[in-house]
Amino acid sequence: MESDQELIELANRGDSDAFEALYHRYRDWVYRLAWRFTGNQSDALDVLQETFAYLLGKFPDFELTAAMTTFLYPVVKHTSIAVRRKNQRFASDDEALSELAAPASQETERSRRELADVLAGLPEAQREIMLMRFVDGMSLQEIASALEIPLGTVKSRLHHALRALRDDGRMRDYFLQ
């Protein structure tokens, strides 16, 4: 399996199969992220299409200087915001979290609802970093690059978000005291 960099080099030379491989590698991630920002399937699919159309437009001279998710994150975010504004809809963190995976039990479903409620109470900047770190699995440096903010700001927002979760009575069972 080729690396992202190898696929980009092939796509820069006109290999459509290489671009298709990049699409298949990242389409689910882009869709989930777009769903989180837009709050519905139709808009998320529109964002998916627009994101890869944007990426295709970068060829044949595209140079990837960070992880592909770091490059794609701001594209998906800004496209999603534009679609959301256009349609006058707002995303629901509860729907986004429930869409990520089917609950295994009623207890898991209750935990998800509680987590979604607590996350909804966080400032948007903290919630965004929490989701990027723990749902998308991005490193702190990747988050800083994607959001174009200092690493220290990412760490601070994550710290305050985790403290808010730890201090919320509904989440206390999930943290070691």
Instruction: For residue range 84-112, list pLDDT tens digits in order.
Output: 888 753 434 444 444 444 445 566 677 77
pLDDT of residue 170: 78
Q: Are residues 64 and 100 in the same domain?
A: no
Q: Are residues 100 and 38 in the same domain?
A: no
- Domain limit, last residue, from 69, 91, 113: 91
Asked if residue 131 belongs to a domain, the reply is yes
Smallest CA-to-CA distance from 30 within 92, 72, 59 is with 72
Other CB atoms within 10 A of residue 49 CB: 14
pLDDT of residue 16: 94
Q: Are residues 112 and 70 in the same domain?
A: no
* Number of separate domains in the chain: 2
pLDDT of residue 105: 59
139, burial (CB in 10 Å: exposed 0-12, middle 13-18, buried 19+): middle
Q: Are residues 115 and 29 in the same domain?
A: no
Whether the predicted pLDDT of 134 surpasses 70: yes
- Lookup result for tokens 């206390």: 172
**pLDDT, the chain, mean:** 86
Whether the predicted pLDDT of 47 surpasses 60: yes
Among 1-5, 75-79, 131-135, 172-176, which stretch is predicted with the lowest mean pLDDT? 172-176
3 state SS for 97-128: HHHHCCCCCHHHHHHHHHHHHHHHCCCHHHHH
pTM of the model: 0.66
Q: Are residues 81 and 97 in the same domain?
A: no
DSSP state of 59: T
Structural domain of 98: 93-170
